[in-house]
A and B are shown apart, each in its own frame.
Chain A
Amino acid sequence: DAKTTQPTSMDCAEGRAANLPCNHSTISGNEYVYWYRQIHSQGPQYIIHGLKNNETNEMASLIITEDRKSSTLILPHATLRDTAVYYCIVRVAAQGAQKLVFGQGTRLTINP
């Protein structure tokens, strides 16, 4: 089972910042938070990941709360091409394999 909960859907205006929340209240100390997105009929695309500190790359920023029980993915200037399903995932290490278990994700729609 996925260890994260996300809103089912969100809307954002083009050009504005899109803030996608994720709860992972049972996260363990050595588990990372990963964000991926999936555009229709394509494979998921890696966005960003983090452990405790906030992270930023060319695509997005990741803000992780101090207790690590939740995080927020920020797309600073959303475009229509950012419309996708966004998945917040906590990395599970089991049997030596570091598999990713997907939840239902947030369907983000960017409106013109």
Chain B
Amino acid sequence: GAVVSQHPSRVICKSGTSVKIECRSLDFQATTMFWYRQFPKQSLMLMATSNEGSKATYEQGVEKDKFLINHASLTLSTLTVTSAHPEDSSFYICSAITGTGAGKLFFGSGTQLSVL
């Protein structure tokens, strides 16, 4: 199946710093990518939809100035957690869709963010 690469897999940072997470579609072009976050023992929560060449669409309750999304090319979307705080510690997962209509969604391996 299609491959979505997410980097880094784990990051530990100090409170107040910014962290960038990259999501790449390796063998297909993805005009749309999605970003999720997941707390322990909970389901995935959709944060935003990232569209190549345009602004991201954020879900209700997600601060767009806190979670900056850039989708500069058809194979790369980045999520920057700005001025991270301990409550931002979570598992962040990106995904990309292949094709249109019933296209499948493939997921990255996730990034575990720990803010001290």
Q: Do A and B bind each other?
A: yes
Docked complex Cα distance between A34 and B34 (Å): 16
Stretch at the interface among B12-20, B42-50, B62-70, B74-82: B42-50
Looking at the complex, which of A60-68, A70-78, A94-102 is the stretch in contact with chain B? Answer: A94-102
Chain A interfacial positions (CB closer than 8 Å to B): 2, 32, 34, 36, 38, 41-46, 49, 51, 87, 91, 95, 97-105
- A41 is contacted by which of B97, B100, B112 (Cβ under 8 Å)? B112
A104 touches B43 (CB 8 A): yes
A100 touches B105 (CB 8 A): yes
Query: Complex formed: what's the CA distance from A49 to B102 in Å?
Result: 9
Chain B residues with CB under 8 Å of A95's CB are 49, 57
Decide: A103 near B105, CB < 8 A? Known: A43-B6, A46-B1.
no
Are the CB atoms of B91 and A41 closer together than 8 Å? yes
Interface of A is mostly: loop
Number of interface residues of B (CB under 8 A): 28
Inside 8 A of B97's CB, which chain A residues have their CB? 98
Once A97-B51, A99-B49, A100-B34 are accepted as A-B contacts, the answer to whether A42 and B44 lie under 8 Å apart by CB is: no
Chain B positions 93 through 114: 1 when the CB is less than 8 Å from some CB of chain A, otherwise 0 = 1010100101111111110100
B32, CB-defined interface residue at 8 Å? yes
Bound CA–CA A34/B104 (angstroms): 9
Q: Compute how far the CA of A43 lies from the CA of B94 in the bound complex, rounded to whole angstroms.
A: 8
Q: B105 — nearest CB in chain A belongs to which residue?
A: A100
